[in-house]
Structure 1
């Protein structure tokens, strides 16, 4: 029998457990990147004197660090230094003991450094970096490749060529002195203080930045360039680098550079925070671009002529990297958990400038794409925006959309005021997500913790199930939040607009805070008017998934009359899945009435495969459309080319868009192989964009048609290191399609697999694997790799081909 004390304890324990179970709790993902790296000193100034032996991929440097002691007792200092040869370390001018672990440089002082005292470290070293700094073209024996040296410090790769404290939570004033061949141009961070000739046909360039910035943004760009100089309305000098032999690419590439600079200064409300701004294209860049302080590096695949501009231009990336000069360079995330404060803001402002450059419909289309990407990311996990492992989609598209929603909630003017306050308060410092929240409270008096909880600290997105019913004198929206709720995702709170539109063109709207699981939103209806259509969250202001079933009549009215392109687009998408009388004729009329390619392309995808009279009429219209995106869409969705339409498709072989030419050439070669010589003649001399897309396509088709050895040799040559990576990948894939491999192509492609650039090494490696799976090519690959000498790193790549 249970005794009294045991019974009493059991009762008390149960009551306590129930009480604690009822306490509201908040659950979040754990994050190893939340806490910034500890450091015992504050680095203030970095002065680097550097020269190069490019053929040996060697860096010869001397770096001086000035720092202040942060802690009471510091007798050891660790710097990041990957695989360097350290010749000497001086502390305040005196030699000091050090240990080089090939990962760290550990300095042991003869005595403890006193709190808050200033010191200098000088390190003489040699490096042959595999990351961080890259030598391009110096190993091309034919001399055709561009010769460049450039850096990419983010995430933590500058430690491969400078011994330094390589973390974002400490900032320095950097000063770089570079000695190099006078034939080249040299760019680094900040203002160029000096450029003078020195002995041996060389020059000395001296750059220094005006304010502290993170060390991962220290940069160098060296190569053969011309420079266009412009000036912003506020007087900031802008240097725009381009290749001297491709001046025709200057205007299309930098078309909006000055205008976006002026726009950002006005929109952000804080003057550009540095003294100069430069942009420099480089070959074989592994990302899109990098926002190095005052000196953006971008992949030269964005250096475009007027025709490539139609397919891939630099405008978005240009705006993104410029916005980073405020968000990331001036104000920097304290740790990787707050990385969104850099990328989301830069993406948000690049999205804003796309609206300025390309119009509201384009801007809304980008937002919708970001909405859909975010929903898709949540299928994998529910990590929040403020998390070091949130991933690219959340740090860039989702975060940009979230900031646009924040602006929607507080209003554009108030949003801008708070951002101005945030930037000025934390100028040249480090920030975390709470600093931004506090900025809205301190500058506007707004307590937006609920928004941070829903959209920044926790993951997921709302899913709404919506319906609308008409009753006597009343129209009712029923809204239910139907997404799965758990410890990491709860109900969302957002102000959402509801609209009722009448057939006479009038409308009513109201905004309601949707925060509960169920809401009933009522409108008083005028019996003298007929409802044409209704909208829940017009123009997709709130990131969400939504199901809202409407009648066909209502969708038809919405497709024709809704103000915003996205609402018309949603109606068109819904209608393509409905059967109704005159459907194809109706969609064809909508195609002719609409201007934006997103809606036109949706209609193309639905009608063209039907191969009827409406499809023929639509195809003729689309082939002649002034928007290259529409012409591209009709080619991509074509399932048959009739004799009647062949001449119209043939005309596209001289289109203004290189991508349209390439896709059309492939299409016509398939349907009319007997005309291949004519098609090849029409595209002769057209190389295409920087990836040589048209040239590679033409060479591939010519060899397939006639086994022309010259065409094959040109394709093989395009796989070599004389060309940039996109051309090499295109050519390798063409050889895969032809299923042709020779020893020179194999050598070129194996060389590609050794590249630091995974956008080259990975796809080309897959091509080699394709051939290795075939008996006739497997022996060729085995014989070649086993008869060559490889470095240890190269052998790791080719060893899988050592099985006969």
Structure 2
């Protein structure tokens, strides 16, 4: 899921939270213990939910009353005892009016006794059921999600589970199950580890389209002008990933490897739906091949709705998106939504196929989906564009961590919604990227394949991932997972360099400055690069103590020294570097991040002697953010340089794939050249789809 962190974080502090913990030790069950999570000194631990009952399948008949915002439902639930024998079934159900509950006994429906309190239905079964012995319950009910009270029934208005939207003559119904909100419209077990199959039979007026998980099994028209669509989900998936949507949508059809793809939009945006979502087949192909694990579901639908409570949600086979994906062709050219589309699609392996067993392990869903954004960019746009995205992730995390840092896998949150943050998303994605760098591409993707294969349709915790990597690589990676996934913080390094000409040694002193009472002393494999007369040499060191000194044999004073060639973005470095060091860093850069750091220095020191030379070289670069810096500083260049680079600027204005670059190049042409200088490309500029380019021109 993609959501607005600022919105979510604001309400974390508005209420007191409670932990209800129940554990088993030597088969003895303890009474619940309630702890004020915000109380000073409170020790909070969120264990995975105990699984007493396993829901196998849910048949659900639903219809709706638009005026009262009621859901009329009948749920037939096939379940079984998980391991220990039981004579009862407890289901989550928020704000229901229960009409009748029956159990199927000898092919007959018989009423059973039940209680309904604290949003839970406790049903007394007809006997004690042993492990794996199935039974079937039927519940007739009315749900009123709009009437749920914030602060009593639900945590926030974003937790109603099902929403009736009526704006500007448009009616829509859509659901949002994560984290534990689907019990606002059908009775179930709200546990992220709970997986089931289901058939949702959705009765609506015939003018509406419907959508749910799985495939449309049948559509039956009724004599009263309504229709029932039966959506069958045959593969088990998490309860919170169950969904439905209703509305007057236009459907744009697509396909990939005989798997149907459909894009649901309002009619006004149907013409651009294939432009917005058009990379979906290529993403499916790329992810399936890279993971060596074909897309595991029978279809994939994507729907854009009004007033969605987050950015998007990865419901299995049917992702929901906010209306920011309603784009014109010009808007798409300037700000395509591939990141969010790739994010929700990658969830269909990481989160939907293999699901976190607890909200504490949420990064096993969200870190992977966020890293999916990087992987798609790397494939589609190149490593430089992907690294820029990764760099933005790092800045997002560091800004967030200034006030509220925490372990990546954490069991001490006050409320599960706190898990949806820049730690689970951005930091987790960078940790995965660094793990890929550590073990190598072949081992990284082989490990992911093993992880998916071993745990398909199951719920997992962080150790499943570690064990898959250790099995593939043959390496003990406990140290890596302990310091990155199971701890908070990041390394802060003070780096001192000095060349000893007499002994022909480069001395590097490294001190870890982070508070080691709350953050680890990190083990950091680092590569140091030295350059002499244009020839690079690479030296591997291991930072593993609070203070260390490394002596590297180097035959002459290096022209350039780069600590951490791979640019671990989760390290903050204190390192004395001169203008010449930054100039050489740009000239000898191994990667985009080296160049970005160097040119960013000169952005802040434009009077430095090397600055203009660096900006000029940026114009010939391959990375679009670097080219942009060269264009933005065009006023610093001599007229001779401008005359020599007119052709380059014209090419950037009409040929560069990034509209931000084209627009900036157009600004340069207008400001620094006469119209006669670029009249031969003016017609092409005018034909550009980009709104940014048109704004720059006019």
Q: TM-score range by the shorter chain?
A: 0.7 to 0.9
Is it true that 1:571 corresponds to 2:583 in the alignment? Answer: no
**Residue number among 651, 659, 684 corresponding to 1:628 in the alignment:** 659
Deviation by residue 1:288-343 (Cα, 9 ceiling, x = unmatched)? 21110111111232132331123332211111111111111111111111000000
Deviation by residue 1:132-165 (Cα, 9 ceiling, x = unmatched)? 111222x64xx3xx32211111111111111211
Separation in 1, partners of 2:97, 2:67: 18
Equivalent residue, structure 2, for 1:366? 389
Contact persistence 1:47–1:176 (CA under 8 A): yes
Contact persistence 1:464–1:546 (CA under 8 A): yes
Secondary structure of the corresponding residue to residue 210 of structure 1: strand
Contact persistence 1:375–1:545 (CA under 8 A): no
**Residue number among 46, 51, 64 corresponding to 1:34 in the alignment:** 46
Q: Which has the larger radius of gyration?
A: 1
**Residue number among 493, 499, 512 corresponding to 1:482 in the alignment:** 512
**Residue number among 540, 555, 565 corresponding to 2:582 in the alignment:** 555
Equivalent residue, structure 2, for 1:412? 441
Secondary structure of the corresponding residue to residue 307 of structure 1: helix
Contact persistence 1:588–1:614 (CA under 8 A): no
**Residue number among 35, 40, 43 corresponding to 2:55 in the alignment:** 43
Contact persistence 1:171–1:213 (CA under 8 A): yes
Deviation at 1:417, TM superposition (A): 1.6
Deviation by residue 1:182-209 (Cα, 9 ceiling, x = unmatched)? 2222111112211232222222211111
Contact persistence 2:85–2:129 (CA under 8 A): yes
Is it true that 1:117 corresponds to 2:133 in the alignment? Answer: yes
CA separation of 1:229 and 1:344: change in aligned 2, threshold 3 A: same
* Count of residues in correspondence between the two structures: 623
Secondary structure of the corresponding residue to residue 63 of structure 2: strand
Deviation by residue 1:736-789 (Cα, 9 ceiling, x = unmatched)? xxxxxxxxxxxxxxxxxxxxxxxxxxxxxxxxxxxxxxxxxxxxxxxxxxxxxx
Contact persistence 2:252–2:270 (CA under 8 A): no
Secondary structure of the corresponding residue to residue 46 of structure 1: strand
Deviation by residue 1:700-748 (Cα, 9 ceiling, x = unmatched)? xxxxxxxxxxxxxxxxxxxxxxxxxxxxxxxxxxxxxxxxxxxxxxxxx
Contact persistence 1:281–1:299 (CA under 8 A): yes
**Residue number among 454, 458, 467 corresponding to 2:496 in the alignment:** 467
**Structure 2: segments with no counterpart, 5+ residues:** 1-40, 147-159
CA separation of 1:427 and 1:310: change in aligned 2, threshold 3 A: same
Is it true that 1:210 corresponds to 2:234 in the alignment? Answer: yes
1:231-310 superposed matches below 5 A: 231-233=255-257, 235-310=258-333
Equivalent residue, structure 1, for 2:10? none
Equivalent residue, structure 1, for 2:153? none
Is it true that 1:433 corresponds to 2:459 in the alignment? Answer: no
CA separation of 1:603 and 1:462: change in aligned 2, threshold 3 A: farther
Is it true that 1:509 corresponds to 2:538 in the alignment? Answer: yes
**Residue number among 142, 149, 152 corresponding to 2:173 in the alignment:** 149
Equivalent residue, structure 2, for 1:536? 563
Separation in 1, partners of 2:539, 2:341: 39
CA separation of 1:452 and 1:572: change in aligned 2, threshold 3 A: same
Separation in 2, partners of 1:91, 1:65: 10
CA separation of 1:636 and 1:31: change in aligned 2, threshold 3 A: farther
Equivalent residue, structure 1, for 2:14? none
Separation in 2, partners of 1:83, 1:265: 41
Separation in 1, partners of 2:446, 2:277: 30
**Residue number among 185, 194, 198 corresponding to 1:161 in the alignment:** 185
**Structure 1: segments with no counterpart, 5+ residues:** 1-28, 666-681, 683-804
Equivalent residue, structure 2, for 1:103? 119
Separation in 2, partners of 1:375, 1:77: 45
**Residue number among 607, 621, 632 corresponding to 1:594 in the alignment:** 621
Equivalent residue, structure 2, for 1:312? 335
Secondary structure of the corresponding residue to residue 43 of structure 1: strand
Separation in 1, partners of 2:335, 2:640: 31
Deviation by residue 1:101-136 (Cα, 9 ceiling, x = unmatched)? 372223234654455431111111112213111122
Equivalent residue, structure 2, for 1:136? 165
Name the structure where helix makes up a greater proportion of residues.
1
Comparing 584-593 with 146-155, greater Cα deviation is found at 584-593
Contact persistence 2:388–2:593 (CA under 8 A): yes
Deviation at 1:550, TM superposition (A): 2.3
CA separation of 1:417 and 1:642: change in aligned 2, threshold 3 A: closer
CA separation of 1:115 and 1:538: change in aligned 2, threshold 3 A: closer
Deviation at 1:359, TM superposition (A): 1.4
Is it true that 1:525 corresponds to 2:537 in the alignment? Answer: no
CA-based RMSD: 3.5
Deviation by residue 1:350-388 (Cα, 9 ceiling, x = unmatched)? 210111122111111111122222333332244111015
Higher RCO (Cα < 8 Å, 6 or more apart): 2
